[in-house]
Chain A
Amino acid sequence: MTAPSELLSRRERVMLFLQREVSRFTSFFWIPATTFTMRYLLGYRIQNATRLRRRFREMVRESDGPVLICANHLTMVDSALVAWALGGTWWSVFNYRWVPWNLPETRNFASGRISQLAIWLTKCMPISRGGRREDVSKVLRHVQHLLTRGDTALIFAEGGRSRTGRVQVDTVAHGMGRIASSVAGCRALCVYLRGDRQRTWSALPVIGDSFYVDIDMFQPTSEQKGMRRSRDYARQIAGRLARMEEKYFARRQRRS
C-alpha cells in the first residue's frame, strides 16, 4: 500500500487543497442552489429523507476510517441526488468533508470553460472513461489521497450509467475496487438510488420523481493479491448493490 504522501506530488496536493477550500467557501451558495433546483424547480423528493439522513450520520459517526461511497448509476444527476439524499442542505455545508468528491465524465461535464469552472467549484475531478490509463490512474490517486486525508468520494459501480437499467456485476468499474483495496481500512458505503418512475437509464430523472434510497456500509476483504484483489473488492461492492436492487424491486412488487 502506498503512503498518502507518495500518492501525489507537492504541486498536486497544493492544487487539490486549493480546490477543496475554494469549493468549501463557495458551498454556502452552490449547495443550497443545487438542492433548491432539485427540490423546487425539478420537484424531486427523497423518500424517508429524515430517517435516511439520521442513519447516514450515525454510520459516519461510528466510522473511524476512510469511506468510499459506491452507487448505482442511472442518470446524469445521480451524484447530486446522492449528496442531497445523504446530507441534506445545511448539514452538508457545515460538514463539508462528507460532501463527496465526484468523478464526472469529461465528455459530459468538462468540455467548456464555464463547465470546467463549475465542476472545479463543486468538488469534481473529471475523468475520461476508457481514456489513457495513466490519466485515469492519476485521478484515482487523487481519490486515494483524499480518502486517506478524511474526505469522501463517490464512485459509480459500473463507471457509466447502466445501459440495462439494472446493476451489472459483470461490468463493474475496476477503479472502484482499486481505490477500496489500496486505502487501508477503507469501507464501502453502498448507495442504491432510484426514482419510482425511472425505468432505465436517461439523462435526467422525470420531473417530480420521488427517489427511493437505501444505504449499507461494509468493509470488503479478499485473500487475493494485485489486480485480482481489486477486482474482488469491486465485485463484492457491486454484488452488495445488486442485492439492494433486488430488495427495491421486491418491495415495489409487494406494493403493486
Chain B
Amino acid sequence: MTREEIFTKVVEIVRPFAKDKDALAEAKLETNILDDLKVNSARLVDVILEFEDEFDIEVEDEDADSVNTIGDAVDLIAAKVG
C-alpha cells in the first residue's frame, strides 16, 4: 500500500471526528489532528482504533503518542503494514 493510499484512507477515517470540515478538505501531511481539524482529544483514541481495524494493525499506547499530525499517522501505519 502506498503512502498516498494510506493518506487518503486516514483522511476518510478522521472525517466523522473532525469538527473543522474546511480544514479537512485541505488536509496535508502537516495538518494537526487536534489543533487544525478540531478532533476532540478524547476521540483521538477512537480514531486510532479505527486505523487498527482498517489497516489490520495493532497500535500500543506508546506508538499512539507520536501521532499529532496526519503525516504522523501515515508514518505509523506505513511502518506497521510494512
Binding site for B on A (CB under 8 A): 129-134, 136-137, 159, 171-174, 178, 182, 225-228, 230-231
* A to B CB contacts below 8 Å, 12 in the list: A133-B65, A134-B65, A137-B62, A173-B42, A225-B58, A226-B58, A227-B45, A227-B60, A227-B61, A227-B64, A230-B45, A230-B61
Structural contact, B65 and A174, CB atoms closer than 8 A: no
A167→B8 CA distance, assembly (Å): 36
Which residues of the partner chain A approach B52 to less than 8 Å between Cβ atoms? 226-228
Which residues of the partner chain B approach A173 to less than 8 Å between Cβ atoms? 42
Question: When A130-B41, A174-B42, A231-B49 are in contact, do A226 and B60 touch as well, CB less than 8 Å?
Answer: yes
Which residues of the partner chain A approach B42 to less than 8 Å between Cβ atoms? 159, 171-174
CB distance from B35 to the nearest CB of A (A): 9
> Cβ of B59 < 8 Å from any Cβ of A?
yes
The binding surface of chain A is classed by DSSP as: helix
Interface residues of B in 34-63 (CB under 8 A from A): 34, 40-42, 44-45, 48-49, 52, 58-62
Which residues of the partner chain B approach A137 to less than 8 Å between Cβ atoms? 61-62, 65
Known contacts A172-B42, A227-B52; 20 further A-B pairs (Cβ under 8 A): A130-B34, A130-B40, A130-B41, A131-B41, A132-B68, A134-B65, A134-B66, A137-B61, A137-B65, A171-B42, A174-B42, A178-B61, A182-B61, A225-B58, A226-B52, A226-B60, A226-B61, A227-B49, A227-B59, A227-B60
> Cβ of B24 < 8 Å from any Cβ of A?
no
Q: Which residue of A lies closest to B48 (CB)?
A: A227
Question: When A227-B48, A228-B49, A231-B49 are in contact, do A133 and B67 touch as well, CB less than 8 Å?
Answer: yes
A129→B44 CA distance, assembly (Å): 12
Structural contact, B64 and A133, CB atoms closer than 8 A: yes
Structural contact, A226 and B67, CB atoms closer than 8 A: no
CB distance from B69 to the nearest CB of A (A): 11
Which residues of the partner chain B approach A131 to less than 8 Å between Cβ atoms? 41
Binding site for A on B (CB under 8 A): 34, 40-42, 44-45, 48-49, 52, 58-62, 64-68
Contact of B59 among A134, A171, A174, A226 (CB under 8 A): A226
Which residues of the partner chain B approach A132 to less than 8 Å between Cβ atoms? 68
A232→B52 CA distance, assembly (Å): 16
A137→B65 CA distance, assembly (Å): 7
Q: Which residue of B lies closest to A133 (CB)?
A: B65
A173→B43 CA distance, assembly (Å): 10
Q: Which one of B40, B61, B62, B65 has the greatest number of beta carbons of chain A within 10 Å? A: B61
Which residues of the partner chain A approach B44 to less than 8 Å between Cβ atoms? 133
CB distance from B41 to the nearest CB of A (A): 4
Structural contact, A129 and B41, CB atoms closer than 8 A: yes
A137→B67 CA distance, assembly (Å): 12
Q: Which residue of A lies closest to B57 (CB)?
A: A226
A137→B58 CA distance, assembly (Å): 19
Structural contact, A231 and B45, CB atoms closer than 8 A: yes
